[in-house]
Structure 1
Amino acid sequence: MYIKKILWAIALIGLVAAGYFAYYVYSAMMTPNTAFNNEEAYIYIKSTDTYKDVRSQLEPLLKDIDKFDALANQKKYVNNIKAGKFAIKKGMSNNDIINSIRSKNIPVKVSFNNQNSLEKLAGRIAKQIEADSTSLVNAMKDQAFYDKNSFKAETALGMYLPNSYEFFWNTSAEKFRDKMLSEYNRYWNKTRVEKAKRIGLSKDEVITLASIVYEESKEPKEQPRIAGVYLNRLKIGMPLQADPTLKFAAYQLPKYKNTVIKRVLNVHKDIKSPYNTYKNTGLPPGLVAMPDLSAIDAVLNYEKHKYLYFAADPKHVGFHKFAKTLSQHNANARAYQKYLSSKGIYK
């Protein structure tokens, strides 16, 4: 009888222990463990992060980090960290959180425009994905990549078409570059390639001209007409005489670093540079800026007309007056120069 009592006592203690253990496991796995009031919070796990790094991000978001540790160990998450952006929703249990940060990498929207060098583009992208600006610049300027895909230093920026794209946050520099090449090739479909051929320009030349058009006007409705002016000049062998190319040439010189040229002067027209389209005929070697897609399409769908000149319209800021003759253009140009002087803009 005494032995039976001992066995019953042991069994009872075992049941209590098992019940406690079951409760602890249930509590660790299934009960809500979030400590924030928003509907969801995000953590960003780098490719080099350890469990300690992940834990430091989670700790302020959870009520009981110790129970999370216990389950993370049991589910072997501590040795199987996944990089990316992950969501933790209000009211999630530890089990839900581990499942989320283990397998539910969330894509991010990456957008850019008006980045007028690969370095500036890399800086912009580095703020939106894990890859840093140095690794991005190195990938973008890789000579083997240039050679394989027929780019050069002067035209490489034209591969990155300004828009919004979807990436995983932990995308590497090389994968970012390669996806942008895919987007570039997708943009240059059969229809656009044929349009470029009809106007006698390569893809690089279209984007180079578009960069000039875009710097001349940010108005999409006016860009096809400006593109038509430059194409008319190219057809007759007339220098483009594009002020944006002079500014670009000037900004390459130490004298003009960290300055903003608001008024193109005769001294700028004397700069020795392949980008000086007052001295050189044809297109410059490459882009002078990152053009919007509207400007690229403006070149491909340029307005057919007989204008050879245009000057900024002082009465409609952002727009231009177009002319077929030099005398008419000179009158338009004088009106704009007078306007600049009235505003105290002399350089």
Structure 2
Amino acid sequence: MPTTEAAHSSRRLLWYVLLLALLIGSGLFYGAWRVLWEPNVAVSPYGAAFLYIRTGTGYAAVLDSLRQHELLRNQSTFEWLAEQRGYPRLVRPGRYRLNPTYGNNDILDMLLQGKQDTLDFTLNAFKYKPQLTQQISRQLEADSVELRKLLNDNTFLTRRYHLDTTTVLTMFLPGPYRFFWNTSAHQFLDSAAAVHRRFWTRQRQQRADSLGLSPVQVHVLASIVQRETAMKEDKPVIAGVYLNRLRRGMRLQADPTLLWAIGNFGVKRVLNKDKLVDSPYNTYKHKGLPPGPITSANRQSLDAVLKPAAHQYVFFCARPDGSGYSDFAETFAEHKQNARRYQHRLDSLGIKR
């Protein structure tokens, strides 16, 4: 009998040990799950969460950013695992998208491998260099001071892109771009140059040659066409007007070039005093194209110059109906009538400038 009771006691003890081991194991598994795989990204009501790590910063800056922007649910478990995996010594810069389902292990896999998120943005048309640098520095890590320095370094631009500090603005095509956030100023310029090279196919180059224009000159003329009209149908016609003037040795007399020179594109009515501005961009004074573009020409405007409409027009004027289209003329007498109607329209609206 005592033997039987001892056996039962031993079995109960074994079950207790097994149950305790199971509980301990479950606890350890749960603890490991929490540290490694439990989703640890704080859900934001403002959309996707991103961790930005600036070039040259270290682990302390990463922790400070995580804490300051409240990106994690439990930062202590992240810090513990980061230490175990050696992340403090392997910080890589970039813009990292934190998926709400990511646990600490997923986050660290991404950070250690440098799998940063790409950034899509649209480069809007700009007229002056500061507008370009502002656009870029607002969206990329690229330093605006460094970018301005490169854009004004004639030796660098000539050696690397065969452009100068004025014509370099022809290198930038408005439209969608994709970059890593930590793209440097040099890398941004190289990427813009690559997009520009892809645009200038052999066919486009041949069209420019047939017009007697270099790619830079096409960009400059396209920038004027773009400032003259937003109407797709009118762009090839206006391009044809300016090409006719160039062939006949006439001055372009393009109002948008005056506005660029005086720094005021809000002017609706160009005055005679504007035509006296001392600038190589004053196409009322100087024959030929201005030395550089007056805005970053888009693909539509560039192709309008490369495929101009064939006609004999050498004058045009905005229509008085406010439609945005233009009236075209072959003679100055016709043009004066068109211009008079447009001036009457401005007078009726009380527009003096």
Scaled by the length of structure 2, what TM-score is found? 0.88
* 1:98 counterpart = 2:108: yes
- In the other structure, the counterpart of 1:174 is 186
SS of 1:311's partner is strand
- What is the rounded CA distance, in whole Å, between the counterparts of 2:195 and 2:39 in structure 1? 42
Preserved contact between residue 166 and residue 292 of structure 2 (Cα < 8 Å): yes
- In the other structure, the counterpart of 1:131 is 142
**Pick aligned residue for 1:109 from 120, 124, 137:** 120
* 1:153 counterpart = 2:161: no
- What is the rounded CA distance, in whole Å, between the counterparts of 1:48 and 1:303 in structure 2? 54
- In the other structure, the counterpart of 2:76 is 66
- What is the rounded CA distance, in whole Å, between the counterparts of 2:320 and 2:279 in structure 1? 30
| CA apart distance, 1:124 | 0.4
Alignment of 1:21-32 (within 5 A): 23-32=30-39
**Pick aligned residue for 2:327 from 315, 321, 330:** 321
Preserved contact between residue 88 and residue 100 of structure 1 (Cα < 8 Å): no
Preserved contact between residue 309 and residue 325 of structure 1 (Cα < 8 Å): yes
- In the other structure, the counterpart of 1:165 is 177
- What is the rounded CA distance, in whole Å, between the counterparts of 1:117 and 1:61 in structure 2? 38
Render the CA deviation track for 1:290-319: whole Å, top value 9, x for unaligned: 222211110001111111110000114311
Work out the number of aligned pairs and report it. 332
- In the other structure, the counterpart of 1:84 is 94
- What is the rounded CA distance, in whole Å, between the counterparts of 1:112 and 1:37 in structure 2? 28
User: Between Structure 1 and Structure 2, whose CA radius of gyration is higher?
Assistant: 2
Which amino acid counterpart does residue 86 of structure 1 have in structure 2?
Y
- In the other structure, the counterpart of 2:256 is 244
- In the other structure, the counterpart of 1:296 is 302
| CA apart distance, 1:82 | 1.3
* 1:268 counterpart = 2:268: no
SS of 1:43's partner is strand
Render the CA deviation track for 1:126-166: whole Å, top value 9, x for unaligned: 11111132122123333233222221222111101111111
- In the other structure, the counterpart of 1:55 is 63
- What is the rounded CA distance, in whole Å, between the counterparts of 1:336 and 1:173 in structure 2? 45
Greater shift after overlay, 227-236 or 98-107?
Answer: 98-107
- In the other structure, the counterpart of 1:5 is none
Preserved contact between residue 245 and residue 288 of structure 1 (Cα < 8 Å): yes
Render the CA deviation track for 1:259-305: whole Å, top value 9, x for unaligned: 84221111112222221111221111111122222111100011111
Render the CA deviation track for 1:175-233: whole Å, top value 9, x for unaligned: 00011111111111111111001000111111110111111001122100000000001
- In the other structure, the counterpart of 2:214 is 202
* 1:34 counterpart = 2:41: yes
**Pick aligned residue for 1:215 from 227, 242, 252:** 227
- What is the rounded CA distance, in whole Å, between the counterparts of 1:332 and 1:205 in structure 2? 29
Preserved contact between residue 30 and residue 95 of structure 1 (Cα < 8 Å): yes
| CA apart distance, 1:346 | 1.2
SS of 2:132's partner is helix
SS of 1:284's partner is coil
Preserved contact between residue 314 and residue 331 of structure 2 (Cα < 8 Å): yes
Which amino acid counterpart does residue 230 of structure 1 have in structure 2?
Y
Gaps of 5+ in 2: 1-16
- What is the rounded CA distance, in whole Å, between the counterparts of 2:41 and 2:260 in structure 1? 54
Which amino acid counterpart does residue 97 of structure 1 have in structure 2?
I
- In the other structure, the counterpart of 1:7 is none
Greater shift after overlay, 111-120 or 136-145?
Answer: 136-145
Please give the root-mean-square deviation of Cα atoms over the aligned residues, in Å: 2.3
Which amino acid counterpart does residue 271 of structure 1 have in structure 2?
V
- What is the rounded CA distance, in whole Å, between the counterparts of 1:159 and 1:78 in structure 2? 40
- What is the rounded CA distance, in whole Å, between the counterparts of 1:271 and 1:142 in structure 2? 27
| CA apart distance, 1:337 | 0.9
- What is the rounded CA distance, in whole Å, between the counterparts of 1:320 and 1:233 in structure 2? 17
| CA apart distance, 1:246 | 1.5
Scaled by the length of structure 1, what TM-score is found? 0.89
| CA apart distance, 1:20 | 5.9
